């Protein structure tokens, strides 16, 4: 499993790099709709999700609203270079954790909590697979934001309307 996840993480990281490299600077607060998340937050999410793999391996749970402490605040960026550096760091964390774990460990449970209450519990390998799928989902969402901002959309799993080769 670790080798499979490592290869998938490397392939998806290259795709995320192409998409994140197109995120326009100075538009972090832009949203297509009042209920949508801001462009900057969405880009940060895509850039940092590979680190969730490390968290899933190294910690037994995550509390989204910890009763005894502050909530997580996402890192801030203002340049594309900073955003890509966040991705590189996040991917490195995920790869390092995968390289140091075992398939047996990936079979052990991991929990997502909210205010101390379990809202999800799955084996770590399921959480990692879901994380990679979740990142692809938000990356696709980010390409829609690019299109709505008149930014050429890179090829992802095949050509885009803006890039015929991939």
DSSP letters spanning 96-130: HHHHH--HHHHTSEEEEEETTEEEEEEEHHHHHHH
Residue pLDDT, tens place only, 60-78: 999 999 998 888 888 999 9
Rg (CA), the chain: 17
Residue pLDDT, tens place only, 123-159: 999 999 999 999 999 999 999 999 999 999 999 999 9
Neighbours of 134 (CB within 10 A): 15
Neighbours of 24 (CB within 10 A): 15
Q: Which two tokens stand for residue 29?
A: 């607060």
Per-residue model confidence (pLDDT) at position 166:
62
Q: Measured between alpha carbons, how far is 143 from 146 in angstroms, rounded to an integer?
A: 5
Domain parsing of the chain, residue ranges: 2-148
Residue 87 pLDDT exceeds 80: yes
Per-residue model confidence (pLDDT) at position 136:
97
Q: Which two tokens stand for residue 121?
A: 């519990």
Assigned superfamily of 2-148? dinb family like domain (1.20.120.450)
Task: Tell me the whole-structure pTM to 2 decimals.
Answer: 0.94
Residue pLDDT, tens place only, 10-56: 999 999 999 999 999 999 999 999 999 999 999 999 999 999 999 99
Parallel, antiparallel, or unpaired for β 109-114 and 61-63? parallel
- Segment 89-111 shows an average pLDDT of 98
Q: Where do we find the tokens 């990936």? A: 106
């Amino acid at each position: 499993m670790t080798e499979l996840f490592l290869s998938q993480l490397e392939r998806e990281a290259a795709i995320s790099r192409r998409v994140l490299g197109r995120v326009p600077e100075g538009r972090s607060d832009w949203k297509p709709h009042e209920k949508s998340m801001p462009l900057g937050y969405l880009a940060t999410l895509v850039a940092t999700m590979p680190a969730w793999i490390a968290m899933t391996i190294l910690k037994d749970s995550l509390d989204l609203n910890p009763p005894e402490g502050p909530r997580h605040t996402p890192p801030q960026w203002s340049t594309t270079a900073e955003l890509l550096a966040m991705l590189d760091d996040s991917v490195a964390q995920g790869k390092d954790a995968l390289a140091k774990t075992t398939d047996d460990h990936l079979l052990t449970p991991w929990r997502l909590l909210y205010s101390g209450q379990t809202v999800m519990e799955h084996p770590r390998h399921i959480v990692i697979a879901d994380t990679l799928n979740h990142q692809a989902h938000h990356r696709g969402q980010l390409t829609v934001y690019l299109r709505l901002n008149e930014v050429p959309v890179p090829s992802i799993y095949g050509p885009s309307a803006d890039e015929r080769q991939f």
